[in-house]
Amino acid sequence: MGVGAGGRGAPAQQATPPAAPTAPAAAGTTTPSPGSAPQAKTPTIRATVELVNVPVTTFNKRGMPVIDLNMEDFQVFEDGVEQKITRFERETSTPLRVGLIVDTSNSARPKLSYEKEAASEFVFQVLRNGGTKNQIFLQTFDASSSIIQDFTNDPDVLNEKIQALKSGGGKALYDAIYSACRDKMFKSGPPEELRRILIVFSDGLDVQSQHTLDQTVSMARMAETMIYTVGTASYGFSNTGDKLLEDISNETGGYASFPMRETPGADLETGYLSHGQIGDTSQNKGLGVETGKFSSERLIHLADTLQAIGRNLDEQYTISYRPLRDTLDGTYRSIKVVIARRGVTLRWKPGYFATAE
């Protein structure tokens, strides 16, 4: 949650509750004699939110990270009330806990080879050949989800598991994200000492989950996990799942990427034509989204997307504050970050639940 329970904060004084009326002794019990030692009173403990950490990513109009900002450039609000920033740092050293979630349903079969290659490159980028405190786990989903590899910082182990992935049947996207947050992210270590990230390869379609979109987002927020989605629907096809991927990412502080929307061209020279563009001819099938020169372009776009996500994680800022409303009362607190500099776009953790993990 980026918060802790303890006494470092300055809790408001509380009135002592009136003593409860003395009940008569029940049958079979004894009443302490006047001369016996009084029973010890149970101390009242008031847990408070000590510190909230807010990862913030900044972009200029060209989509490049802005890396020369200072604490004075930012304002942070909790539930509409401005908070005093107590710590500010450019994020380069806080370890990452990353979950790679790959769609292995039947609909993902034609795309899986590209996704595996891009995922492998991402793993080597984030883990830097094992010379880092970052860790990644690998999960797949079709009708159900499976942890293929637990958290590790060994890129070779992960790459071996990635390359062995095969497609199955069914599609339960929400359940996969829900279980990843509940079973892995919650147990990955103190949130104030780590950044929790999910990278989800999917077309955004879900036909079998037991959990709803709202439940999935709520669980991700409770686990303080930012979700970056990578849309895998082919260019030239309408896909209702794209909006769902955007919603998941926007509601958790990540962002959605759609590398397949970028096409190298719509002519015979580039080898890319989407089905239906010039009719369902044999030539069109031969030069469709799964063959021809577009195969290499597809891999390049996927790899570029994951590399961009990796760079963003390396170049975040962290804003910390002690909330004015400091009780751990279980409520969800919305966070808004504002920047004074014009032309800069922000993404940040949208909030937290004020509960002790």
Report the pLDDT value the prediction gives residue 294, as an integer from 0 to 100. Answer: 54
Say which CATH topology domain 96-314 has.
Rossmann fold (3.40.50)
User: Which residues make up the CATH 3.40.50.410 domain(s) of the chain?
Assistant: 96-314
The pLDDT averaged over each successive group of 10 residues in the chain (357 residues) is 39 37 38 48 57 90 88 96 93 85 89 90 86 92 94 96 90 96 93 89 92 95 94 77 94 90 46 37 39 62 86 87 91 94 91 82
Report the pLDDT value the prediction gives residue 196, as an integer from 0 to 100. Answer: 93
pTM of the model: 0.75
Best CA proximity match to 260, nearest among 213, 298, 222? 298
Which residues lie closer than 8 Å to 176 by C-beta, 6 or more apart?
Answer: 101, 139, 140, 141, 145, 200
Report the pLDDT value the prediction gives residue 218, as an integer from 0 to 100. Answer: 94
Instruction: Give residue for tokens 């780590």.
Output: 194
Calpha distance 282→205 (Å, rounded): 29
Number of Cβ within a 10 Å radius of residue 161: 17
* Strand stretches in 145-285, DSSP E: 145-152, 195-202, 225-231, 256-257
Q: What are phi and psi of 243, to 5 degrees?
A: -65, -40
Report the pLDDT value the prediction gives residue 263, as an integer from 0 to 100. Answer: 53
Calpha distance 312→271 (Å, rounded): 32
What's at 335, amino acid-wise?
I
Calpha distance 266→63 (Å, rounded): 25
